[in-house]
Amino acid sequence: MLLSMFRQLYDIEDRAKAFTPEDRLALRQAESRPIWKRIREYLASEAMKSVMPKELFGEALTYLRNQFEHLLVYLDDGLMPIDNNETEQLMKQVALGRKNWMFIGSVAAGYRAADLMSLVSSAHRNDLDIFVYVKDVLDRLLAGETNYDDLRPDVWKQSHPEAIRIYRVEERQARADAKAVKRARRRVAQRV
């Protein structure tokens, strides 16, 4: 029951991806808020009170109850995502390299590596050819460029469309389409 309600919330978010922030906010108010109300009622029901707090499911329910108001914040902002999964995915890079960076040499070298990692991650997130982007940015900085806003990956890619890795955009779209089909099938199966 609880899982199906969360699936409904993510189905709503899936439908709202292409919406403007204002339309997404309106959809969330109309459809997501009532689901959250049902979740709150379900958590307060007798069935949930019988779950032992030391069980894994009980611990999850306690966390959900304690964080409930924080989970609702996205309902009041059409720009805010329902979760932080994209950010969590970016943090995998840090976790994977942590042991490699343990012996980086010095604190100053660590800061330089962190700056470079931020630059590379931003380019990756904007689907840029990382080598082309970093080379151009470093060349421009060495030449004395001081307009740093033009060097941001989201701005830079507008003037360098040839450096956008189209296949990454297509892969992301294919994954989104497959997920949308899966959710649509699940919705149809729930109605039957």
Q: If DSSP states are collapsed to H, E and C, what string results for 55-105? A: CHHHHHHHHHHHCHHHHCHHHHCCCCCCCCHHHHHHHHHHHHHHHHHCCCC
Mean pLDDT of 125-146: 93
pLDDT for residue 39 is more than 90: yes
pLDDT for residue 132 is more than 70: yes
pLDDT for residue 104 is more than 80: no
Q: Are 78 and 9 in contact (CB under 8 A)?
A: no
Under the banding of pLDDT at 50, 70 and 90, the label for residue 125 is confident
pLDDT digits (tens, 9 = 90+) for 50-66: 888 888 988 988 999 99
pLDDT value of residue 48:
77
Percent of the chain with pLDDT over 70: 96
Mean pLDDT score across all residues of the chain: 88
Phi, psi of 78 (to 5 degrees): -70, -15
pTM to 2 decimals?
A: 0.63
Q: How far is CA 174 from CA 83, 167, 168, 169, 188, in A?
A: 21, 10, 10, 9, 21
pLDDT value of residue 67:
93
Q: Are 134 and 119 in contact (CB under 8 A)?
A: yes
Torsion of CA 66, 69, 73, 74, to 10 degrees: 70
pLDDT value of residue 192:
67
Q: How far is CA 28 from CA 19, 34, 35, 176, in A?
A: 11, 9, 10, 20
pLDDT for residue 108 is more than 80: yes
Q: Are 128 and 157 in contact (CB under 8 A)?
A: yes
Residue among 142, 96, 94, 146 at smallest CA distance from 121: 94
